[in-house]
A and B are shown apart, each in its own frame.
Chain A
Amino acid sequence: MATVLLSGCGKQSILSFKSPQTHQITLLWWWMLAAASIVFLGAVVMLTVAWFRRGTRGLPFLGERETLTEGLVVLFGMGIPVVALVALFGVANLYVIKNSEAPDPRTTALTVVVTGRQWWWEVSYPGTRAVTANEIHIPVRTRVDVIALTADVIHSFWVPQLARKIDMVPGRRNRILLYASRPGIYRGQCAEFCGLQHANMALEVVAEPASAFRSWLSRMAAPAASTASASTGKSLFMSLQCASCHQIRGTAAQATVGPDLTHLMSRRTLAGNTIPNTPADLAAWIHNPQAIKPGALMPDLGLSSTQVSELVSYLETLR
């Protein structure tokens, strides 16, 4: 347990901060923990003294001087807390907060719109046609303005290593700063209870060098490559209910209920970071989504295994 804490490992641990903002918050936490431990141990010492003196008549000096004892109560209950709380208030709520507030749009180099949906994340990049799901790519060491919206109920966008959380509330256009000091993949998860599959509503932030990010973004903005070889799967996709929920840009499938599948195979995971994106997992997901994510809005279509494998071989072309 201690090693887990000290090494700060763990995919969503706030202790393995990767941005100046989360670094400061974590420092704040360690200082608060230290101060709280001192206060708590002080109380434990006093109660321990009482325990060892049990059955004997009070503390010699203190017990007889009511005003002195009351003075100590005021000192410990009012004097010391006032000093400590004013200090905490200043550091946390006037200083550290500057880094976790919504960023000034003039200081950010990129804007990403993240929309919470039951139970996945839609990610789009204003000014481009790029739309993806459950995977936010950002250039490393760049101030990114995240606009957090919701399409249905309240969700909360939380990538603990990179930023504080922000709720996605209907009718509100909340913003936070996303910044990664180092390249890497950072897991995040919905933090506001949003219904049956709240537990399986995760995402990843991929922080990569600017050049890699630019080429990724232009790939995402492009429509799907047309490939004739998978035409059976494609026509199945268009004729079954798939196309009534999903969009594949460059084809007839233009619905926006479920995730955009234009570049499905470029993503690392499926179903809100619930399963890895392998052909086998994809097939299992299409075959019976309700077995993997009970309550998910993608229905079990009762497809035969041939239909599933044809669909998978079509989807595999969406790179």
Chain B
Amino acid sequence: MATLITPSAERHVELLEQVWAERQGVLGWLTTTDHKRIGILYFFTSLAFFAAGGVEALLIRTQLVGPNGHVLSPAAFDEMFTMHGITMIFLFVIPMTTGAFGNYLIPLMIGARDMAFPRMNAVSYWIFLGSGIFMYIGLVTGHAPNSGWFDYVPLASKQFDPGNNIDFYGYGLIFNGISSTAAAINFIVTIFKLRAPGMSLNRMPLFCYAFLAVSFSLVFALPALSMACVFLELDRQLGFHFYDVSNGGDPLLWQNLFWIFGHPEVYIIILPAFGIATSIIPTFVRRKMVAFPLVALAEIMVAFLGFGVWVHHMFAVGLATITTIYFAAASLIIVIPSAIQLFAWIATILTGTPIFKTPLLFIIGFILFFMIGGLSGVTVAAIPFDQQVEDSYYIVAHFHFVIFGAAVFPILGGMYYWFPKVTGRMYHEGVGKVSFYLTFTGTLVTFFPMHILGILGMPRRVYTYPAHMGWTFLNLLESIGSYVLASGLILIVVNLAVSLFRGPLAGNDPFEGDTLEWSTTSPPPPYNYPLIPTVSSPYAMWDKEDRELDNRRLARGEGLLARGHETPASTVQDAEWDEILHMPPHSAWPPVVGLTLTGMFLMLLLHHYEIAAGFLVAGGLALLAWHNKEYAG
């Protein structure tokens, strides 16, 4: 801390440094349970998958640059758009938001020293990495999933897809779901139990509300997907008939299960973006959020209502009109919490003192794209119109504005915003702005013409199109846009990579941020805070008296909790001091569990069931060994 001046405070900090000293080198990263290190692992891994998904997208756009393209074969095209969807959703956005941003920031924002279950946190990462590698083994060996990320049966059944392409999908998503479920439970417990004493629920930053909502959504949505995949593999491997209509099954069972997961999934993707936006906006407009309680409620409402709308993905399958009308009404209701948040952001910007630095620019882009995607979303709640444009490029436009424009732009803005906190250095503001304008233009040029193509009748997921349909020019434009977009994204990475080594030192709080993470050093020490901070509002960093009080307490050596890996637990609602928790130190078992599960799923895929059982037993033994040597101090 910059304000650490007294020798007694320095002595206290030295004590903490000894207690929380971390292993160095590769072994340190492999065995870490520090939420910040795990967050960084998540960040680089999901960034690598983002690059892979991006290359897949560019290949798709290159194939479609003109009519009758020959860049990809039809089979390769199908694998590309399937892997693009799976990668961006399961291996990029979710791990990037919950894994990287959530992991790194939630404990900091609530004044905790780690996640509630640090080893489970580590195992979430290793399982995520294993599942990502597992699915990409399919691509590398030429057996990538090829029935779309939605994987409709019977196209995905053994009869029509006899190779093991679909098994990489089925097993891969069951595998991946373990990681997300564990991470979500960890967030729920962390947010409910580890908030600094004083941070009652109404004083919790909106970012944490968003992640709480996301975590509950994940816990309730993922079982539907996992079961759908279990049924799929039972059908494929053991000849069950869940989806086989000739034996009393029903292909619509898959669609229902998939979208019961799949629509909450959309909010799982977008809610962290809302959380990032509500962190960046107050800082750069020098003003607290307008309508804080409404925004907090809206975040929860969106997640909740998201579970009642899945059939709007199925308006064209021939369900009874009354069924579709109910789900259309439910879908329209979601507009209200979304609109409340939207106007709360705009009102905050309008009534504050905006300083348009790079992070805020990305949030402005997010607001505009979220409006485009949201408004086109309203149009498809008009059932007859949806029945026209469903499965056309109009839908591709709609959901890319939502899950690229609205979900990824705050991620990009957030990368700039928290870069100084994570690295201790500043990014280059000028290059940052250029990168924003490139990605903004690229996104608009890539995805906006897709609305028109859909209106002109171009279906989705076609590997080519004839020259005489009037679609050629817009497709060319979109492909050009995708290259501009890619160059903007590369510029962001270059800016951050160069700044990591050359950027000026940032100090603790370069933007005068509003939340607690800006009170500690950049990068934060392993124990996050030398003492457990005092909190009396959701904008803890703007409460100057609290921070000065903290400095005096540190000098006196109060609230250090330095007798081991300690962090306080507080009561769920009012965050009153509850007990002191002893956090586990580094451990080699989480990566071992990840490895055994990877082995198990690979053996399942190759039909070596007895070896798979062996891996399962090994994983179970690793979990038993997990509990030894619980305390370091």
Q: Does B342 contact A (CB under 8 A)?
A: yes
Please judge, given known A-B contacts A78-B336, A81-B335, A193-B461, whether A69 and B347 are in contact too, CB under 8 Å: yes
Please judge, given known A-B contacts A73-B290, A164-B387, A192-B152, whether A56 and B340 are in contact too, CB under 8 Å: no
Q: Which of B99-107, B367-375, B521-529, B608-616 contacts A (4 or more CB under 8 A)?
A: B367-375
Query: Is A47 a contact of B387 with CB atoms below 8 Å?
Result: no
Within 8 A of A (CB), among B360-417: 364, 367-368, 371-372, 375-376, 378-379, 381-385, 387-392
Residues of A within 8 A of B458 (CB): 12
Please judge, given known A-B contacts A92-B383, A199-B465, whether A166 and B355 are in contact too, CB under 8 Å: no
Q: Which of B152, B246, B351, B375 contacts A193 (CB 8 A)?
A: B152
Within 8 A of B (CB), among A75-97: 76-78, 81-82, 85, 88-89, 91-94, 96-97
Complex Cα spacing A196 to B245, Å: 22
Within 8 A of B (CB), among A256-278: none
Closest B residue by C-beta to A295: B74
Q: Which of B381, B384, B457 contacts A24 (CB 8 A)?
A: B384
Query: Is B347 a contact of A73 with CB atoms below 8 Å?
Result: yes
Query: Is A100 a contact of B387 with CB atoms below 8 Å?
Result: yes
Q: Does A44 contact B (CB under 8 A)?
A: yes
CB distance from A293 to the nearest CB of B (A): 9
CB distance from A77 to the nearest CB of B (A): 3
Query: Is B382 a contact of A40 with CB atoms below 8 Å?
Result: no
Query: Is A77 a contact of B336 with CB atoms below 8 Å?
Result: yes
Closest A residue by C-beta to B248: A171
Closest A residue by C-beta to B379: A32
Q: Does B506 contact A (CB under 8 A)?
A: no
Residues of B within 8 A of A160 (CB): 388, 457
Q: Which of B75, B251, B291, B371 contacts A170 (CB 8 A)?
A: B251
Query: Is A57 a contact of B353 with CB atoms below 8 Å?
Result: yes
Query: Is B350 a contact of A50 with CB atoms below 8 Å?
Result: yes
Q: Which of B36-44, B232-240, B317-325 contacts A (4 or more CB under 8 A)?
A: B317-325
CB distance from B181 to the nearest CB of A (A): 29
Within 8 A of A (CB), among B43-91: 73-75, 78
Interface size range on B against A: 35 or more
Query: Is A165 a contact of B376 with CB atoms below 8 Å?
Result: no
Q: Which of A1, A13, A73 contacts B343 (CB 8 A)?
A: A73
CB distance from A302 to the nearest CB of B (A): 21
Complex Cα spacing A169 to B314, Å: 12
Could you tell me the dominant secondary structure of chain B's interface residues?
A: helix
Complex Cα spacing A192 to B148, Å: 11
Residues of B within 8 A of A175 (CB): 318
Bitwise, B449-477 to A at CB < 8 A (1) or not (0) is 10010011111111111001111011000
Q: Which of B75, B287, B455, B459 contacts A29 (CB 8 A)?
A: B455
Q: Which of B245, B332, B456 contacts A13 (CB 8 A)?
A: B456
Complex Cα spacing A88 to B384, Å: 12
Complex Cα spacing A25 to B380, Å: 11
Query: Is A40 a contact of B371 with CB atoms below 8 Å?
Result: yes
Closest A residue by C-beta to B454: A14
Closest B residue by C-beta to A63: B351
Complex Cα spacing A235 to B627, Å: 78
Q: Which of A151-159, A206-214, A244-252, A304-312 contacts B (4 or more CB under 8 A)?
A: A151-159
Complex Cα spacing A22 to B468, Å: 22
Query: Is B353 a contact of A196 with CB atoms below 8 Å?
Result: no
Within 8 A of B (CB), among A44-73: 44, 46-47, 49-51, 53-59, 62-63, 66, 69-70, 72-73
Complex Cα spacing A152 to B73, Å: 23
Residues of B within 8 A of A22 (CB): 388
CB distance from B446 to the nearest CB of A (A): 15
Q: Does B632 contact A (CB under 8 A)?
A: no
Residues of B within 8 A of A195 (CB): 78, 155, 160
Ordered by A's residue number, 9 sampled pairs between the chains whose C-beta atoms are within 8 Å are A28-B384, A47-B349, A53-B354, A73-B344, A93-B383, A93-B384, A97-B383, A152-B160, A175-B318
Q: Which 9 A-B pairs have the closest CB atoms?
A: A12-B457, A92-B382, A77-B340, A174-B318, A199-B462, A171-B245, A164-B387, A36-B375, A63-B351
Chain A interface (Cβ within 8 Å of chain B)?
1, 4-5, 9-15, 21-22, 24-25, 28-29, 32-33, 36, 39-40, 43-44, 46-47, 49-51, 53-59, 62-63, 66, 69-70, 72-74, 76-78, 81-82, 85, 88-89, 91-94, 96-97, 99-102, 148, 152-154, 156, 158, 160, 164-167, 169-172, 174-175, 187, 189-200, 294-295
